[in-house]
């Protein structure tokens, strides 16, 4: 008989009321895949918070183990690219949405969804970065490809105290950019400057209805908020600049105009971390290993036990979380 393991299972009743329960499962309860991984660390991203609280329809198959990313060790493999003992990372691919995810001691997935854990990083390190940090790296790489170099001017980061924002500031500052951080939490100004932000502006400056064009303030941006915030960021982007958009904490709408695009040549760069090609993922994790300040990693993270997940989900959705929440699954 297979060994049992603990999992957090999200279920719905006929009235679509959601419950999240810690249960004991076996390998027979896992979904199809050619790799089984012992999950050693995971995290709670904003998307995970939405899934666990039911605030948005992230989970599309019931019942389901949530959790969109993990790091761990391969237990068994039917895939020639991986062998038992290999250290791996998973981000996205519908895991935690339509396929059983990270919030269990074991996961069965497809080998092509995995990337190698960088040799100088532990599973905990990788999940301090997590999907939020990996997404931040994709944003930075997109700005670089568009020619937004440090000499072009400052880069604004919205939702700066969150996971994506915190890692984006750390990455950009280490790469030599002047970073303007936008946050609604005055108490986090010192924290954001410790990560490398040169200036901190109030969220309210970007929260109101956007003018078609505002005063040019930055060469680029990393936006995690969407809606009016993204519209304002675009309206204030310098000629030929670019904004990498990766989040929707403020809403999915974009109440903007074509003015920034056709009068200033501004580009809006869409960032998708869920289905990004494997080659791009590997490049992103190699860059993270090289370019992310390890001291900042410790400063932006809080380590939590598995049973803290349900409460943490509410905190992250309510905007009470600074940086990254990491779940130690090996305990």
- pLDDT per position as a tens digit, 176-202: 999 999 999 888 999 999 999 999 999
What's the CA gap between 186 and 198, in Å, rounded? 15
Helices 123-145 and 163-174: angle between axes, nearest 10 degrees: 70
> What is the pLDDT at residue 2?
67
> Which pLDDT value is given to residue 150?
98
Average pLDDT, the chain: 95
pLDDT at 296: 82
For range 140-157, the mean pLDDT? 98
Q: Mean pLDDT over residues 302-311, rounded?
A: 94
Task: Note the pLDDT of residue 236.
Answer: 98
What pLDDT is stored for residue 1 in this prediction? 47
pLDDT of 140 > 80? The answer is yes
Read off the tokens for 17. Answer: 């009321």
What pLDDT does residue 215 have? 97
Residue 214 has pLDDT above 60, yes or no: yes
Report the pLDDT value the prediction gives residue 116, as an integer from 0 to 100: 97
Residue 70 and residue 41 in contact, taking contact as beta carbons nearer than 8 Å: yes
Q: pLDDT tier at 151 (50, 70, 90 boundaries)?
A: very high
- My answer on whether omega of the bond before 216 falls inside 30° of 0, hence cis, is no
Supply the DSSP symbol for 53.
H
CA pair distance 238, 214, nearest whole angstrom? 10
Confidence of residue 294 (pLDDT cuts 50, 70, 90): confident
Complete domains list, the chain, with CATH: 5-117+300-328 (3.90.180.10), 130-270 (3.40.50.720)
pLDDT of residue 84: 98
Torsion of CA 274, 279, 284, 287, to 10 degrees: 170
pLDDT band at 295 (very low <50, low <70, confident <90, very high): confident
**Per-residue pLDDT tens over the stretch 241-291:** 999 999 998 999 999 999 999 999 999 999 999 999 999 999 999 999 999
Query: How sure is the predictor about 300, in pLDDT bands with cuts at 50, 70 and 90?
Result: confident
> Quick check: bond before 63 cis, omega within 30?
yes
- Residue by residue, DSSP assigns 164-187 as HHHHHHHHHHHTT--EEEEES-GG
Query: Is the torsion defined by CA of 195, 200, 204, 208 positive or negative?
Result: negative
- The pLDDT tens digits for 221-237 are 999 999 999 999 999 99
């Amino acid at each position: 008989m297979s060994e049992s393991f603990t999992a957090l299972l999200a279920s719905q009743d006929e009235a679509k009321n959601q419950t999240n329960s810690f249960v004991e499962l076996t390998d027979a309860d896992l979904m199809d895949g050619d790799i089984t991984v012992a999950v050693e660390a995971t995290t709670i991203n904003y998307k995970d918070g939405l899934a666990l609280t039911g605030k948005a329809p992230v989970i599309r198959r019931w019942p389901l183990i949530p959790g969109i990313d993990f790091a761990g060790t391969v237990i068994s493999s039917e895939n020639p690219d991986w062998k038992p003992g290999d250290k791996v990372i998973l981000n996205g691919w519908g895991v935690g949405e339509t396929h059983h995810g990270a919030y269990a001691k074991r996961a069965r997935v497809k080998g092509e969804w995995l990337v190698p854990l960088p040799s100088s990083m532990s599973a905990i390190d990788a999940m301090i970065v997590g999907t939020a940090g990996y997404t931040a790296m994709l944003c930075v790489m997109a700005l670089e490809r568009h020619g937004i170099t440090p000499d072009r001017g400052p880069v604004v980061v919205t939702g700066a105290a969150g996971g994506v924002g915190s890692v984006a500031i750390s990455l950009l500052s280490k790469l030599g950019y002047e970073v303007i951080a936008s946050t609604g939490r005055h108490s986090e100004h010192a924290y954001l400057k410790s990560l490398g932000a040169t200036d901190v502006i109030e969220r309210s400056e970007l929260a109101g209805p956007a003018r078609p064009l505002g005063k040019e303030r930055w060469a680029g941006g990393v936006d995690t908020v969407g809606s009016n915030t993204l519209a304002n960021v675009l309206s204030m982007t310098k000629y030929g600049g670019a904004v990498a958009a990766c989040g929707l904490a403020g809403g999915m709408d974009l109440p903007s105009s074509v003015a920034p695009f056709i009068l200033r040549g501004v580009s809006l760069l869409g960032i998708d971390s869920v289905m990004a090609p494997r080659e791009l993922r590997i490049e992103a994790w190699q860059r993270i290993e090289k370019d992310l300040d390890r001291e900042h990693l410790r400063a932006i993270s809080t380590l939590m036990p598995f049973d803290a997940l349900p409460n943490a989900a509410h905190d992250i959705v309510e905007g009470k979380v600074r940086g990254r929440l990491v779940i130690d699954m090996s305990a």
